[in-house]
């Protein structure tokens, strides 16, 4: 496992060395596109709902009969799936899963898988260069469909993963008419982070470009997924750098349970999460994850970005609201570690009163939410700082749909390390009201201390309880 992991990471990241030693592929400029179909190396397999895991019928540009032979449906939309770099030279296990999910959601659609495996199996930088040629192949295919077969480009949705996202972008920039949509699934970072828009995925490659960034860990030139926004809407789940359930410990646990079959997938867990988030949006129509526009991941962590006004929130994945602003929009959300990924986001705002002037850092709290539909207990929160007579805002999220919030419980836990000041002091704050805003319902509620005018929140002691206030509250009042 470790060996595979290290090797994979090495192969992917060590593109600099490889660049120095490997000849780049000889290629004519991608802009001089010719209608010589014999130059096309990529293969276009129209998969079926019955056999989502195998290429059984190929659409051959220039040969119109292949389209009817493969039972291509001219009145339905077409999804074009483009894979990324591969160590093994084989399709990865996500391909049939995505194909299957697309057919489950759109049974009449055409799902075309682009096979560029031989070019994708080279040293990373060589394969990265090949995305230009693959993009040109795909563009030629799309133009042929449009010109020779009158298939509307407006029905085309390209989905590209990793290097495939950039191939989709190149394709989109070369077609005679713009394709309807490109979804970039964690577009590759190395060789593309600093590339010009024409040689990578960018917003002008389709009428609408949405991008999921799920593995952008590390410095920009080393990050496996591209860090900068490259679409109309760029979503950074869980901050974008790394995904829950993907650390090595968790991966090893999964291997212990499920065996070594999916090692490949585990190694690329965060990278591939982009695909599974999209699959999730296809399969769990009733559990659509919401995303929220935010300037930074830090502001999102404070719960400051849960607004839905002026298109500030959106749904993740297939049913995205196609909002196109001039500048690309960064969106954030939290997710579960498994499908269905949806969670419910809350902003909690609280003012900590006190007689004594205290400032403490990295304090652990437990928050429990009780609502009309259910409850979610002991959600762990760490506040970077708590200080007397200061207002704090933070994000709380849970996979449980609690409905309308009725009651909230906070416990201030002892932090783990011992200090003399901890020994002598009983840290406590007084809380009068807690303001909560739900991202999913957009409802705001003010909770008051359950028994008295205020509750004491004492470190290491029992919880403070807050219930929906009875009196009308002046919403601008800050206490
Ligand atoms: C083609 O798709 C349309 C919907 O777009 C559907 O009504 C029709 O039945 C499909 N045709 C075939 C042959 O499956
Ligand atoms: C905090 O504010 C209250 C008034 O709201 C005041 O009585 C108290 O002394 C202040 N505490 C500190 C430490 O300044
Ligand atoms: C509380 O401490 C902060 C610095 O930690 C200081 O700026 C502030 O003036 C203090 N307030 C009172 C009322 O002592």
Please give the average per-residue pLDDT across 264-283, as a whole number: 89
Please give the pLDDT value at position 422: 60
Residue 309 is assigned to a ligand binding site = no
Ligand nearest to the CA of 385: 3
Q: At what angle do helices 269-283 and 94-105 cross, to 10 degrees?
A: 20
Radius of gyration of the chain (CA): 26
* Confidence grade of residue 364 (pLDDT, cut at 50, 70, 90): very high
Is 0.85 surpassed by the pTM of this model? Answer: yes
Residue entry with tokens 């920009």: 220
Considering the candidates 186, 234, 264, 280, report the single residue annotated as catalytic. Answer: 186
Regarding the beta carbon of 357 and ligand 3, being less than 6 Å apart is answered yes
Residue 181 is assigned to a ligand binding site = no
Q: How far apart are CA 179 and CA 3, in angstroms?
A: 41
Strand bridging mode 78-82 / 110-115: parallel
User: Residue 30 pLDDT > 70, yes or no?
Assistant: no
Distance 391 CA to ligand 2 centre (A): 13
Ligand nearest to the CA of 107: 1
**Closest alpha carbon to 134 in 51, 27, 49:** 27
In the annotation, is 162 catalytic? yes
* Confidence grade of residue 251 (pLDDT, cut at 50, 70, 90): low
Compute the half-sphere exposure of residue 421: CA atoms within 13 Å on the CB side of its CA.
5
Closest C-alpha to ligand 2, atom 9:
355
Please give the average per-residue pLDDT across 318-347, as a whole number: 94
Distance 310 CA to ligand 3 centre (A): 40
Please give the pLDDT value at position 11: 44
Ligand 1 atom at minimum distance from 75 CA: 5
Q: What domains sit in the chain, N to C, each tagged with a CATH number?
A: 43-333 (3.40.50.1820), 344-417+424-468 (2.60.60.20)
Distance 357 CA to ligand 3 centre (A): 6
Q: Are 139 and 175 in contact (CB under 8 A)?
A: yes
- In the structure encoding, which two tokens stand for residue 363, read together? 């304090």
Regarding the beta carbon of 356 and ligand 3, being less than 6 Å apart is answered no
Considering the candidates 100, 137, 143, 162, report the single residue annotated as catalytic. Answer: 162
98-110 pLDDT tens trace: 999 999 999 999 9
* Confidence grade of residue 189 (pLDDT, cut at 50, 70, 90): very high
* Confidence grade of residue 75 (pLDDT, cut at 50, 70, 90): very high
User: Residue 22 pLDDT > 60, yes or no?
Assistant: no
Q: Are 158 and 171 in contact (CB under 8 A)?
A: yes
For CA atoms 415, 419, 421, 422, give the dihedral sign: positive
In the annotation, is 173 catalytic? no
Please give the pLDDT value at position 421: 59
Burial status of residue 111 (CB atoms within 10 A of its CB: 0-12, 13-18, 19 or more): buried
Ligand 2 atom at minimum distance from 389 CA: 1
Buried b (16+ CB within 10 A) or exposed e, 248-263: eeebeebeeeeeeeeb
Calculate what percentage of the chain has a pLDDT beyond 70.
85
Cα–Cα–Cα angle for 166, 23, 20, rounded to 5 degrees: 90
Q: How far apart are CA 258 and CA 96, in angstroms?
A: 19
- CA 97 vs CA 58, 78, 104, 219, 316: distances in Å: 19, 17, 10, 31, 18
Please give the average per-residue pLDDT across 343-352, as a whole number: 98
In the annotation, is 186 catalytic? yes
- CA 156 vs CA 52, 207, 230, 254: distances in Å: 19, 10, 19, 37
Considering the candidates 166, 271, 276, 345, report the single residue annotated as catalytic. Answer: 271
């Amino acid at each position: 496992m470790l060996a595979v992991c290290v090797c994979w990471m090495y192969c992917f990241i060590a593109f600099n060395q490889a660049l120095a030693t490997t000849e780049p592929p000889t290629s004519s400029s991608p802009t001089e596109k010719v209608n010589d179909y014999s130059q096309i190396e990529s293969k276009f397999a129209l998969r079926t709902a019955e056999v989502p895991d195998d290429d059984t019928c190929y659409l051959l540009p220039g040969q119109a009969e292949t389209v009817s032979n493969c039972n291509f449906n001219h009145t339905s939309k077409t999804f074009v799936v483009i894979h990324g770099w591969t160590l093994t030279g084989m399709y990865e296990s996500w391909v049939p899963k995505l194909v299957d999910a697309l057919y489950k959601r759109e049974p009449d659609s055409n799902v075309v898988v682009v096979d560029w495996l031989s070019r994708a199996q080279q040293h990373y930088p060589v394969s990265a260069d090949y995305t230009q040629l693959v993009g040109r192949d795909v563009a030629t295919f799309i133009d042929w469909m449009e010109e020779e077969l009158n298939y509307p480009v407006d029905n085309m949705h390209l989905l590209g993963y990793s290097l495939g996202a950039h191939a989709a972008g190149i394709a989109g920039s070369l077609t005679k008419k713009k394709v309807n949509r490109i979804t970039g699934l964690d577009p590759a970072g190395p060789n593309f982070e600093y590339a010009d828009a024409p040689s990578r995925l960018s917003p002008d490659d389709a009428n609408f470009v949405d991008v999921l960034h799920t593995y952008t860990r590390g410095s920009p030139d080393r990050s496996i997924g591209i860090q900068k926004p490259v679409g109309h809407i760029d979503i950074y789940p869980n901050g974008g750098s790394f995904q829950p359930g993907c650390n090595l410990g968790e991966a090893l646990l999964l291997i212990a349970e499920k065996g070594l079959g999916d090692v490949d997938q585990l190694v690329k867990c965060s990278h591939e999460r982009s695909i599974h988030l999209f699959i999730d949006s296809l399969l769990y129509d009733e559990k659509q994850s919401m995303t929220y526009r935010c300037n930074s991941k830090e502001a999102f962590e404070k719960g400051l970005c849960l607004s839905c006004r002026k298109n500030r929130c959106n749904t993740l994945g297939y049913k995205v609201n196609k909002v196109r602003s001039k500048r690309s929009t960064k969106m954030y959300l939290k997710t579960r570690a498994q499908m269905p990924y949806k969670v419910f986001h809350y902003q909690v705002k609280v003012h900590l009163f006190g007689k004594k002037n205290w400032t403490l850092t990295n304090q652990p709290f437990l928050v429990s939410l009780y609502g009309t539909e259910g409850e979610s207990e002991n959600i762990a929160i760490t506040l970077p700082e708590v200080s007397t007579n200061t207002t704090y805002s933070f994000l709380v999220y849970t996979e449980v749909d609690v409905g309308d919030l009725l009651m909230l419980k906070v416990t201030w836990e002892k932090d783990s390390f011992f200090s003399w000041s901890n020994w002598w002091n009983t840290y406590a704050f007084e809380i009068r009201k807690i303001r909560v805003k739900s991202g999913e319902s957009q409802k705001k509620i003010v909770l008051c201390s359950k028994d008295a005018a205020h509750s004491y929140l004492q470190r290491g002691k029992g919880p403070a309880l807050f219930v929906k206030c009875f009196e009308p509250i002046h919403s601008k009042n800050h206490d």
